[in-house]
């Protein structure tokens, strides 16, 4: 039987993000507060089997605990380190302590207002925003990207019909018809760097 190799801090390329060791253009940062939070919360997420991202925590510990290893090596990380914050940890621990029974979540929850039962939906749409039970915005970004692409196609069709247009006219049309779509609800989902949205905007 082949001997299983043990991943460790010595096998990690510390010049990359310590959480997702990939080559990306996203900016990285580091701070003592971040080291402290990650050093404390990563093992706790691991205990309840709820790590926010795929992560082998053995890579971050060379025998001196995670926080000490990160400080000594001055490790850096992307914004996804926020997924390890205390709020997400508390939610993960509560889910671990009170697991939802088998079946749909709508069968488990029973919300009431007085004697009136309130129906439960996994997701809904409000003012063009798609909101699910986990407050994720992937569906919103997907719909925004599609809408912006349709708006761009309409502008391009008009461009061909008119035999061309000046840069000033195109810029005004872009801001009025396309940029307004891309920025819809940005106050809610704009805290993340959505690659699909960036790619769409660059293509325009």
Spatial distance between the Cα atoms of 176 and 183, rounded to a whole number of angstroms: 11
Give residue 57's pLDDT.
81
What is the spatial distance between Cα 140 and Cα 181, in angstroms, rounded to a whole number?
A: 11
- Amino acid 2: pLDDT: 39
For every residue of 82-147, DSSP letters joined together read GGGSHHHHHHHHHHHHSPPPSS-HHHH--EEETTEEE---SEEEETTEEEETT---HHHHHHHHHH
DSSP structural state of residue 29: B
Position 3 scores a pLDDT of 40
- Convert the pLDDT of each residue in 18-68 to its tens digit: 887 666 667 888 888 888 888 898 888 888 888 888 888 887 877 778 888
Q: Per-residue pLDDT tens for 182-202? A: 777 776 666 666 665 655 555
For range 166-181, the mean pLDDT: 85
| Rounded-to-integer distance, Cα 114 and Cα 137, Å | 32
- Verdict on whether the full-model pTM lies above 0.85: no
For residues 95-106, average pLDDT = 57
When pLDDT is cut at 50, 70 and 90, the band that residue 7 belongs to is very low
Q: What is the mean pLDDT of residues 73-95?
A: 84
């Amino acid at each position: 039987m082949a001997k299983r190799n043990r991943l460790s801090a010595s096998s990690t390329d510390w010049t990359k993000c310590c959480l997702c060791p990939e080559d990306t253009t996203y900016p990285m940062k580091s701070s003592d507060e971040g080291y402290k939070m990650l050093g404390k919360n990563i093992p706790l997420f691991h205990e309840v089997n709820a790590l926010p991202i795929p992560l082998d925590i053995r890579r971050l510990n060379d025998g001196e605990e995670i926080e000490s290893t990160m400080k000594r090596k001055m490790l850096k990380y992307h914004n996804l380190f926020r997924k390890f914050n205390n709020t997400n940890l508390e939610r993960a621990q509560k889910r671990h302590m009170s697991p939802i029974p088998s079946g749909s979540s709508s069968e488990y929850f029973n919300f009431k207002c007085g004697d009136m039962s309130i129906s439960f939906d996994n997701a809904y749409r409000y003012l063009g925003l798609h909101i699910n039970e986990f407050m994720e915005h992937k569906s919103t970004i997907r719909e925004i990207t599609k809408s912006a692409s349709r708006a761009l196609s309409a502008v391009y069709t008009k461009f061909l019909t008119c035999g061309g247009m000046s840069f000033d006219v195109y810029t005004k049309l872009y801001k009025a018809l396309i940029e307004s779509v891309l920025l819809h609800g940005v106050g809610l989902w704009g805290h993340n760097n959505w690659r699909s949205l960036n790619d769409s905007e660059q293509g325009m």
